[in-house]
């Protein structure tokens, strides 16, 4: 890490220790530019043994032009004749600055281990992006005060996107960062099913799924499978999920929103009326697999799956989710509870240590395969919540893949804060990797 010091006596230049210059290749530069974010200044490289190896002396006017925070710890990398200070990571956290003001302090969980991240971390909102000047207003993290400095700054080199944006905004963000935006786009349930179905190994773990267009689609699906879930393709936290079971000419429906309370539809017309509020191509119909339940509680597993500082997918941890008794979903927001997956398999499912280890390993292999498949599709992801479940025969099923900013607080619900912070740190280290400051594999 480098400490930037202001210089009043060496205009238009920057000075480093000769050993540092040699290690980075700066001594070979006849003409150099200092770069921070999307700002660049020509600067003459100078060398002095009076400077320590972790110190960087820069002309005060250049510091002002680049808008460098002297309270930050930087790393340096050289690309051709550019000396880049970084990493510079942007967290797009909200659409409005008003909303950002309310949540900015909660974003500290991304920088709790700043010593391993370094550089600049900027929290910003869409409405404070100045497209004309390609700069952005927001809050820059100050590790010295463990607080945020409000101001207007250069555009970041990589963006960790926590919110959904439309296509024009997505194109702009990728243009400014050189396609270093993750999670670049929200993957709906239908798109995820289509992508994963192309992989033979993953397809064996996917419940049969169809895109909803009209009530007839549901009736035909039920005639084949008897039971089905109806899910919004962009829904989350189990909201709005409906389970429908065919019982002769009647249909039994259960809504996740009312705790699993059932209602009966006595004919196809009543089913049509029940479904009339569903917009075509906005819902999927999913096979209702006979999943494992413990004492009437549905159980599934959230695999916290993130990329690390090498840009490689890792499973940080596996959490078992127990649904409220009688509920058709296992989400914590719907009254469920959580426990570390390995422990739950031993304590609740009564597996041996070896059986639990092997089952977790199988689940992790599937989660990593999902990440790799999304990469092959051209979607830049770095943070996933993969939901898997076991049926009564022990077969693993893919329930859902969430890349709409899974915040991994489920690890805290399972009383494992270390897992939560590890997931946050790995996401930031992946952003650092996208800045070309990460480790190589």
CB atoms within 10 A of CB 68: 23
Residues 268 and 344 grouped into a single domain: no
CB within 8 Å of 408: residues ≥ 6 apart: 304, 316, 385, 419, 420, 423, 424
Look at 107-111, 237-241, 299-303, 310-314 and tell me which has the smallest mean pLDDT.
237-241
Specify the pLDDT at position 220. 93
CB atoms within 10 A of CB 31: 9
Q: What dihedral do alpha carbons 59, 61, 64, 69 form, nearest 10°?
A: 20
Residues 267 and 359 grouped into a single domain: no
User: In the predicted model, is pLDDT for residue 426 greater than 70?
Assistant: yes
Which CATH number belongs to the domain containing residue 59 in this structure?
2.40.40.20
Specify the pLDDT at position 208. 95
Which structure tokens are listed for 383? 């943070």
Residues 303 and 380 grouped into a single domain: yes
Domain boundaries, position 50: 2-86
Q: What is the pLDDT of residues 346-360, one digit of tens each?
A: 988 888 999 999 999
- Asked if 321 contacts 385 with a C-beta cutoff of 8 angstroms, the reply is no
Which CATH number belongs to the domain containing residue 333 in this structure?
3.30.470.20
Spacing of C-alpha 391 from chain mean position = 28
CA distance 368 to 400: 14
Q: How many structural domains does the chain have?
A: 4
Which structure tokens are listed for 424? 């946050």
Which CATH number belongs to the domain containing residue 136 in this structure?
3.40.50
Which structure tokens are listed for 16? 């480093």
Q: What is the pLDDT of residues 59-102, one digit of tens each?
A: 999 999 999 999 999 999 998 889 999 999 999 999 999 999 99
- Last residue of some domain: 86, 113, 143? 86
- Last residue of some domain: 230, 258, 287? 287
Share of the chain above pLDDT 70, in %: 95
Q: What is the pLDDT of residues 7-27, one digit of tens each?
A: 988 899 999 999 999 999 998
Residue 231 belongs to some domain of the structure: yes
Q: Identify whether 87 is preceded by a cis peptide bond (ω within 30 of 0).
A: yes
CA distance 333 to 321: 11
pLDDT-derived band at 30, boundaries 50, 70, 90? confident
Residue 217 belongs to some domain of the structure: yes
Residues 129 and 77 grouped into a single domain: no
Specify the pLDDT at position 331. 57
Residues 200 and 344 grouped into a single domain: yes
Average pLDDT of the residues in 417-431: 95
Residue 189 belongs to some domain of the structure: no
pLDDT-derived band at 258, boundaries 50, 70, 90? low
Residues 158 and 258 grouped into a single domain: no
pLDDT-derived band at 318, boundaries 50, 70, 90? very high
Residues 295 and 414 grouped into a single domain: yes
pLDDT-derived band at 367, boundaries 50, 70, 90? very high
Q: What is the pLDDT of residues 116-140, one digit of tens each?
A: 999 999 999 999 999 999 899 999 9
Specify the pLDDT at position 441. 41
User: In the predicted model, is pLDDT for residue 254 greater than 90?
Assistant: no
Residue 191 belongs to some domain of the structure: no
Specify the pLDDT at position 408. 92
Specify the pLDDT at position 253. 86
pLDDT-derived band at 259, boundaries 50, 70, 90? low
What is the reported pTM?
0.88
CB within 8 Å of 376: residues ≥ 6 apart: none
User: In the predicted model, is pLDDT for residue 232 greater than 80?
Assistant: yes
Residues 315 and 276 grouped into a single domain: no
Residues 338 and 200 grouped into a single domain: yes
Average pLDDT of the residues in 151-159: 95
Residue 190 belongs to some domain of the structure: no
- Asked if 95 contacts 125 with a C-beta cutoff of 8 angstroms, the reply is yes
Residue 11 belongs to some domain of the structure: yes
Residues 276 and 344 grouped into a single domain: no
User: In the predicted model, is pLDDT for residue 330 greater than 60?
Assistant: no
Specify the pLDDT at position 326. 58
Strand pairing category for 88-94 and 120-130: parallel
Q: What is the pLDDT of residues 171-225, one digit of tens each?
A: 999 999 999 998 888 888 999 999 999 999 999 999 999 999 999 999 999 999 9
Residues 301 and 407 grouped into a single domain: yes
Residues 200 and 338 grouped into a single domain: yes
- Last residue of some domain: 28, 52, 86? 86
């Amino acid at each position: 890490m480098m400490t930037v010091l202001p210089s009043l006596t060496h205009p238009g230049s920057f000075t480093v220790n000769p050993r540092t210059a040699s290690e980075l290749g700066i001594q070979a530069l006849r003409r150099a530019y200092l770069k921070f974010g999307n700002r660049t200044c020509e600067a003459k490289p100078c060398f002095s043994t009076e400077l320590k190896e972790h110190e960087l002396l820069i002309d005060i006017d250049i510091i002002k032009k680049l808008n460098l925070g002297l309270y930050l710890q930087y790393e340096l990398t050289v690309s051709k004749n550019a000396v880049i200070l970084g990493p510079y990571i942007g967290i797009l956290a909200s659409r409005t600055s008003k909303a950002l003001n309310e949540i900015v302090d909660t974003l500290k969980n991304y920088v709790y281990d700043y010593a391993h991240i370094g550089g600049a971390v900027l929290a910003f909102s869409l409405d404070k992006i100045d497209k004309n000047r390609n700069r952005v207003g927001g809050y820059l993290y100050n590790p010295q005060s463990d607080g945020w400095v409000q101001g207007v700054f250069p555009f970041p080199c990589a963006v960790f996107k926590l919110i959904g944006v439309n296509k024009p905004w997505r194109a702009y963000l990728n243009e400014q960062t050189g396609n270093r935006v993750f999670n670049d786009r929200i993957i709906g349930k239908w798109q995820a099913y289509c992508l994963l179905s192309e992989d033979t190994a993953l397809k064996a773990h996917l419940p049969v799924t169809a895109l909803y267009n009209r009530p007839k689609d549901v009736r035909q699906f039920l005639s084949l499978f008897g039971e089905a879930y109806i899910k919004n393709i962009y829904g989350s936290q189990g909201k709005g999920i409906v389970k429908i079971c065919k019982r002769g000419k009647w249909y039994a429906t259960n809504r996740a929103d009312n705790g699993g309370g059932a209602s009966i539809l006595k004919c196809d017309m009543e089913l049509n009326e029940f479904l009339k509020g569903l917009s075509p191509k906005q819902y999927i119909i999913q096979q209702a697999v006979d999943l494992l339940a413990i004492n009437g509680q549905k159980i599934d597993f959230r695999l916290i799956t993130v990329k690390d500082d090498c840009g490689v997918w890792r499973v940080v941890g596996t959490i078992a989710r127990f649904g409220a008794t009688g509920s058709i979903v296992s989400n914590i927001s719907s009254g469920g509870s959580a426990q570390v997956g390995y422990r739950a398999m031993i304590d609740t499912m009564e597996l041996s240590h070896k059986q639990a280890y092997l089952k977790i390993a199988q689940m992790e292999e599937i989660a990593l395969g999902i990440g790799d498949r999304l990469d092959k599709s051209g979607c830049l992801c770095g943070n996933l919540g993969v939901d898997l479940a076991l049926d009564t025969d022990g077969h693993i099923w893919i329930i859902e893949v969430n890349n709409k900013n899974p915040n991994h607080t489920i690890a805290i619900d399972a009383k494992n804060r270390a897992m939560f912070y590890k997931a946050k740190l790995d996401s930031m280290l992946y952003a650092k990797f996208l800045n070309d400051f990460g480790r190589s594999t």
